[in-house]
């Protein structure tokens, strides 16, 4: 085994066509961002799956912890007044 | 964590899977779930990578440009599939280096089918048609498996595999309709690849050690024997259609079952190959490890170059 450093891991995001958002599609190893882009092209867009690629080194992503899902996401659950159906309107108002 | 707490978490976990919820990398999971997935997913990735070798053997000798670009694209896909699967496995906390290490030292297995030699061009047809055909049958149910990254990787893989099978069948069809020599070459390839392809669907249900747990975790949705029957039932008419004969004297349509009855599989051969005594086990590992070692200076140079560029950028910023 080499004592040199291994290639870091990169997360790959691909925009499938203009008008749509970039979407996470997987990850790969590359020595730098340029190589990550080139490899992403070969690994994730061999069949016209993309018009734009973002690469982000995985260590730079901060992710929420699923164990904290309660405190993070439950407060939204009892706020029904944020949805249009919470409000009673007369039937005569057809579209609002 | 107390035993009771763990048990509680495990029950909740199993209930989530039973509700068809997906498990994602940072979610709590039983250690056995993690280890089983690392084993199966890394073996799957290794199979894709080693699977490039028998076909790569024929790229330079493809009989036409059309066949060559198709085979090249197929082998490139296998590399891609290996990479999707390795990165999905890494989400479970094992590094790429560890996985390579396990492959190269023989600790991790890969599909035994790749330990058979590819001695004629017709083998490219038989592999695409039969080996990829059996792989698709194994893989389609995995698009729904419980571990999110694995399921997502499998969706991509399955989308790409169907071209592989079609290009293989087309090769066989062309040879089967060609000269006598070509027809014989196609039949010979079918004779050699048929039984190993049936073995790809795994040991019989009675012998299979992982089935029950794997069913629960949706790593498996049908038993090995059911998958094998499905493969045979779909493949026999395809052979008939191009005038090739399945090398099984006991093969017979069973009206009552609505399926083909088939002959005894030589499981001794299967276990021999699994244990490393197949015709190409040593050769495959030699090629794989050799490629990895010869590439080391390139990987190191790329890393050194990246570090140098980074340093220059930081200096300029000061």
Predicted confidence at residue A3, as pLDDT, reads 57
> Predicted confidence band at A1 (pLDDT cuts at 50, 70, 90)?
very low
Q: Which of B75, B293, B299, B312 to mutate to test the interface with A (most CBs of A within 10 A)?
A: B299
Q: Verify whether the Cβ–Cβ distance B87 to A27 is below 8 Å.
A: yes
Sign (positive or negative) of CA dihedral B14, B18, B24, B27: negative
User: In whole angstroms, what is the distance from residue B285 CA to residue B42 CA?
Assistant: 16
Predicted confidence at residue B114, as pLDDT, reads 96
* Coarse DSSP helix, strand, coil percentages of chain B, rounded to the nearest 5 percent: 70, 5, 25
The whole-chain average pLDDT of chain A stands at: 93
Residue B90: which of A4, A9, A31 has the nearest Cβ?
A9
**Which residue(s) pair with A29 in the sheet?**
A9
Q: Which residues of A touch B80 (CB under 8 A)?
A: 42-43, 46
Predicted confidence at residue B162, as pLDDT, reads 86
The full 3-state SS of B45-105, as one line of letters, equals HHHHHHCHHHHHCCHHHCCCHHHHHHHHHHHHHHHHHHHHHHHHHHCCCCCHHHHHHHHHC
Contacts of B66-73 with CB under 8 Å at 24 or more apart are B67/B124, B67/B171, B70/B167, B71/B124, B71/B167, B73/A46, B73/B163
- Cβ contacts below 8 Å, chain A against chain B, sum to 61
Q: Verify whether the Cβ–Cβ distance B87 to A28 is below 8 Å.
A: yes
Neighbouring C-beta atoms of residue A9, cutoff 10 Å: 17
- In sequence order, the 6+-apart residues with CB closer than 8 A to the CB of B114 are B47, B50, B51, B53, B54, B280, B284
Neighbouring C-beta atoms of residue B171, cutoff 10 Å: 26
Sign (positive or negative) of CA dihedral A56, A62, A64, A67: positive
Q: β-strands B252-254, B259-261: how paired?
A: antiparallel
User: In whole angstroms, what is the distance from residue B289 CA to residue B64 CA?
Assistant: 31
> What's chain B's length in residues?
318
Predicted confidence at residue B179, as pLDDT, reads 98
Q: Compute mean pLDDT per 10 residues along chain B, 318 residues long, and list them.
A: 86 94 95 96 97 95 97 97 97 97 96 96 98 95 96 94 94 98 98 97 84 86 93 98 98 97 96 92 96 96 95 90
- ipTM score assigned to the predicted complex: 0.89
User: In whole angstroms, what is the distance from residue B113 CA to residue B188 CA?
Assistant: 17
Domains of chain A: 9-82 (3.10.20.520)
Q: Verify whether the Cβ–Cβ distance B27 to A66 is below 8 Å.
A: yes
The two three-digit tokens of residue A72, written as one number: 């993070």
pLDDT at A10 over 90: yes
Q: Residue B220 region, left (φ>0) first, then alpha (ψ -120 to 50), else beta?
A: beta
Give residues 35 to 64 of A whose Cβ lies within 8 Å of B: 35, 42-43, 46-47, 63
């Amino acid at each position: 085994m080499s004592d040199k450093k291994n290639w870091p891991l990169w997360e790959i995001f691909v925009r499938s066509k203009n008008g749509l958002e970039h979407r996470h599609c997987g990850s790969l190893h590359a020595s730098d961002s340029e190589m990550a882009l080139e490899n992403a092209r070969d690994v994730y867009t061999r069949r016209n799956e993309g018009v734009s690629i973002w690469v982000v080194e995985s260590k730079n992503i901060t992710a929420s912890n699923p164990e904290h899902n309660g405190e993070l996401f439950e407060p939204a659950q009892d706020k029904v007044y944020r949805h249009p159906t919470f409000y009673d309107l007369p039937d005569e108002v057809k579209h609002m | 964590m107390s035993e009771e707490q763990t048990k509680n978490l495990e029950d909740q976990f199993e209930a989530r899977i039973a509700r068809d919820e997906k498990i994602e990398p940072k979610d709590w999971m039983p250690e056995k779930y993690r280890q089983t997935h690392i084993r199966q997913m890394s073996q799957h990735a290794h199979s894709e990578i080693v699977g490039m070798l028998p076909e790569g053997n024929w790229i330079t000798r493809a009989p036409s440009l059309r066949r060559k670009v198709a085979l090249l694209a197929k082998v490139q896909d296998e590399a891609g599939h290996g990479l999707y699967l390795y990165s999905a496995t890494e989400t479970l906390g094992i590094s790429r280096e560890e996985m390579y290490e396990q492959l190269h030292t023989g600790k991790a297995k890969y599909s035994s089918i790749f330990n058979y030699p590819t001695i004629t061009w017709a083998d490219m047809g038989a592999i695409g048609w039969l080996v990829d055909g059996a792989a698709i049958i194994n893989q389609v149910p995995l698009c729904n498996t419980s571990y999110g990254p694995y399921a997502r990787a499998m969706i991509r893989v399955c989308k790409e595999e169907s071209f592989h099978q079609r290009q293989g069948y087309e090769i066989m069809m062309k040879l089967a309709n060609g000269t006598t020599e070509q027809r014989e070459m196609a039949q010979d390839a079918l004779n050699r690849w048929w039984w190993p392809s049936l073995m790809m669907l795994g040991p019989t249900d009675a012998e299979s050690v992982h089935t029950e747990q794997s069913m629960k975790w949706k790593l498996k949705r049908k038993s090995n024997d059911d998958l094998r029957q499905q493969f045979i039932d779909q493949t026999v008419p395809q052979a008939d259609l191009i005038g090739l004969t399945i090398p099984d004297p006991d093969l017979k349509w069973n009206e009552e079952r609505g399926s083909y009855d088939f002959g005894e599989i030589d499981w001794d051969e299967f276990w021999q190959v699994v244990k490393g005594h197949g015709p190409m086990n040593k050769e495959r590992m030699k090629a794989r490890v050799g490629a990895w070692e010869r590439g080391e200076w390139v990987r190191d140079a790329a890393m050194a170059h990246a570090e140098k560029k980074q340093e220059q950028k930081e200096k300029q910023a000061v």
